[in-house]
């Protein structure tokens, strides 16, 4: 959309009509689909937990509660800093907004680092989808770990996507495209981030605290 001739300009101006309410509607619909995406996995979890209660109980012993709970604090804090960033931009405090956004980014990063250590410890013991030890486990425990990796993995991908989006939004705040008058993109990033947070809040008790 670089070279713009006259009628295109008129058209662009016409298409500029902003509809914040509409954009927000779209974003909520998207979040709704995300809930349902995870919903499929939660259904599978429910079915197998019902069928293999004892095995799930046993397997959950092996997960590192300290790391799980630490990560929960990290993620909850990041939701707070995200809100602070949105609030700051709405009050036109660009520098503060950027600072809080990068803090959120850092916390997301921290979450993934902790997750990485957790996963690699499991990997070390051969507990990994397709790994040998996991293959030889009783089916209930195998399903527990496979569910654990699928659900935390999908969640991790969402964290990663969130970080990419945050970086893009931060760049656009710096360049002034996102500002105190049009902060929609930052606000929707925040909504998305809270969803990522929310999913984790369900994952923690379902996997780490079942025993």
Partner 1 sequence: MSGTNTGPAYTGSYLQDYGSRRGLMAWLTTTDHKRIGIMYMVVMFSFFAIAVLLGLLIRLELMNPGLQFVTARVYNSLFTLHGVIMIFLFIVPGIPAVMGNFILPLHLGADDVSFPKLNLASWYIYMVGALMALASLFVGGGVPDTGWTFYAPYALRSNTNVSLAVLAAFVLGFSSILTGMNFITTIHRLRAPGMSFFRMPLFCWGLYATAWIQVIATPVVGITLLLVVMERSLGIGFFDPARGGDPILYQHLFWIYSHPVVYVMILPAMGVVSEILPTFSGRTIFGYRAIALSSMAIALVGYVVWAHHMFTTGISDTARWIFSLLTFLVAIPTGIKVFNWMATLYRGSIRIEVPLLYALGFVFLFSIGGLTGLVNGALATDIHVHDTAFIVGHFHYTMFGGAGIGFFAALHYWWPKVWGRMYNRKRAMWAWGLIMVGFNTLYFPMLVLGIMGMPRRYADYLPKFHTPHLISTIGSWIIFAGMALMFFNLIRAIKHGAKAPDNPWGGTTLEWQTTSPPPQLNFATPPVVTTGPYDHTALRAAAAREARP
165 binds partner 1 (CB under 8 A): no
Name the 3-class secondary structure at 206. Answer: helix
Choose between 23 and 77: whose C-beta lies nearer to partner 1. Answer: 23
Choose between 126 and 138: whose C-beta lies nearer to partner 1. Answer: 138
Question: d(Cα 75, Cα 110) in Å, to the nearest integer?
Answer: 9
140 binds partner 1 (CB under 8 A): yes
Choose between 86 and 147: whose C-beta lies nearer to partner 1. Answer: 147
132 binds partner 1 (CB under 8 A): no
Least CB distance from residue 121 to partner 1, whole Å? 19
Q: Which of 27, 4, 28 shows the shortest CA–CA distance to 16?
A: 4
Asked if residues 92 and 181 have their Cβ atoms less than 8 Å apart, the reply is no
Q: Which positions from 7 through 36 interact with partner 1, judged by CB under 8 A?
A: 7-8, 10-11, 14-15, 19, 21-23, 25-26, 29-30, 32-34, 36
Q: Where are the alpha helices (DSSP H) in the chain?
A: 6-15, 20-51, 53-60, 65-90, 94-124, 132-136, 139-174, 184-203
Name the 3-class secondary structure at 179. Answer: coil
Instruction: Report residue 62 CA to chain centroid gap.
Output: 24
Contacts of 89 (CB under 8 A, 6+ apart): 97, 173, 178, 179, 180, 183, 186
161 binds partner 1 (CB under 8 A): no
43 binds partner 1 (CB under 8 A): yes
Return residues touching partner 1 (CB under 8 A).
3-5, 7-8, 10-11, 14-15, 19, 21-23, 25-26, 29-30, 32-34, 36-41, 43-44, 47-48, 51-52, 129-130, 135, 138-140, 142-143, 146-147, 149-150, 154
């Amino acid at each position: 959309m670089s070279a713009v001739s006259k009628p295109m300009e008129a058209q662009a101006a016409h298409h500029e009509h902003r509809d914040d309410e509409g954009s927000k509607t779209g974003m909520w619909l998207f979040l709704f689909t995300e809930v349902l995406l995870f919903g499929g996995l939660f259904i599978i979890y429910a079915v197998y937990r019902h069928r293999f209660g004892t095995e799930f109980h046993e397997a959950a012993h092996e997960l590192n509660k300290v790391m799980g709970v630490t990560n929960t604090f990290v993620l909850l804090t990041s939701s707070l800093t995200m809100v602070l960033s949105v609030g700051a931009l709405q009050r036109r405090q660009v520098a503060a907004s950027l600072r809080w956004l990068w803090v959120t980014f850092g916390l997301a990063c921290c979450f993934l680092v902790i997750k990485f250590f957790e996963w690699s410890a499991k990997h070390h013991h051969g507990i990994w989808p397709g790994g040998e030890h996991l293959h030889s486990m009783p089916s209930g425990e195998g399903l527990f770990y496979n569910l654990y990796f699928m659900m935390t993995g999908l969640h991790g991908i969402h964290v990663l996507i969130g970080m990419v989006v945050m970086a893009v939004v931060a760049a656009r705040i710096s360049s002034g495209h996102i500002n105190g008058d049009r902060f929609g993109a930052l606000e929707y990033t925040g909504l998305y981030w809270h969803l990522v947070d929310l999913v984790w809040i369900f994952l923690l008790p379902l996997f780490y605290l079942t025993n």
